[in-house]
């Protein structure tokens, strides 16, 4: 996205936060395609035969964003970071519900050539990643935030640095350390 378009998107976000409904109408077409790409990134690792599609995830995020009051958007990267966090939470909640059903809920499990096992494994992996990320956040919140922005939001090093307020070199150093720590932590569980 060219710099002028990024600036215009940021201006629309700020106008929307200020209560300008027309800004929201202009903003939606600008961010919709990127939100769909972001949702596709999240859903790429979801189970086969999932009930949630890209458009559904984008719409769920939109409904949550519209209800947000008094959020001052710093820039477009901030918007996409918040959107990615919402997508992650939506998918994590769904994974936890699926896992709870597996552990004694009222659902009937039908084996479709291992599809459920794969789904269950991915749900467990997502939950394990979230647990590890929460542990990392308790130890080093900046590293956890960088993982969220880089991995879940798909932001580049420069945008992540802008959102966090550190140098790109610090982002890269923290990113490498956090990935190594998460990998080790998840291999234990």
- Mean pLDDT across 114-143: 73
| Residue whose C-alpha is closest to residue 154's, from 87, 93, 59 | 87
Is the pLDDT at 99 greater than 80? The verdict is: no
Tell me if the pTM is above 0.85.
no
Lowest mean pLDDT among 46-50, 58-62, 127-131, 148-152: 46-50
- Mean pLDDT across 182-187: 86
User: How far is CA 167 from each of CA 159, 164, 171, rounded to the nearest angstrom?
Assistant: 10, 9, 6
The most confident of the ranges 26-40, 84-98, 118-132, 148-162 is 26-40
Is pLDDT larger for residue 170 or for residue 113? 170
Is pLDDT larger for residue 50 or for residue 71? 71
How far, in Å, CA of 161 to CA of 57, rounded? Answer: 27
Q: What is the average pLDDT score of the chain? A: 79
Is the pLDDT at 160 greater than 80? The verdict is: yes
Q: Which two tokens stand for residue 108?
A: 């009937």
3 state SS for 23-59: HHHHHHHHHHHHHHHHHHHHHCCCCCCCCCCHHHHHH
Is pLDDT larger for residue 12 or for residue 151? 12
């Amino acid at each position: 996205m060219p710099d002028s378009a990024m600036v215009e998107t940021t201006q629309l976000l700020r106008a929307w936060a200020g209560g300008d409904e027309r800004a929201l109408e202009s903003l939606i077409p600008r961010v919709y395609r990127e939100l769909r790409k972001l949702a596709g990134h999240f859903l790429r690792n979801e189970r086969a035969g999932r009930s949630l599609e890209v458009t559904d995830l984008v719409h769920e995020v939109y409904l949550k964003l519209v209800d947000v009051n008094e959020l001052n958007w710093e820039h477009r990267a901030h918007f996409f970071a918040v959107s990615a966090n919402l997508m992650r939470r939506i998918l994590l909640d769904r994974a936890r519900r699926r896992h709870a059903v597996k552990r004694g809920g009222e659902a009937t499990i039908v084996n479709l050539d291992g599809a459920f096992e794969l789904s269950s494994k991915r749900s467990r992996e997502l939950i394990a990643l979230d647990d590890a990320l929460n542990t990392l956040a308790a130890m080093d919140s900046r590293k956890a935030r960088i993982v969220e922005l880089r991995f879940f939001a798909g932001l580049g090093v420069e945008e992540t640095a802008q959102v966090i307020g550190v140098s790109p070199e610090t982002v890269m150093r923290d990113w490498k350390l956090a990935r190594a720590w998460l990998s080790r932590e998840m291999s234990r569980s």
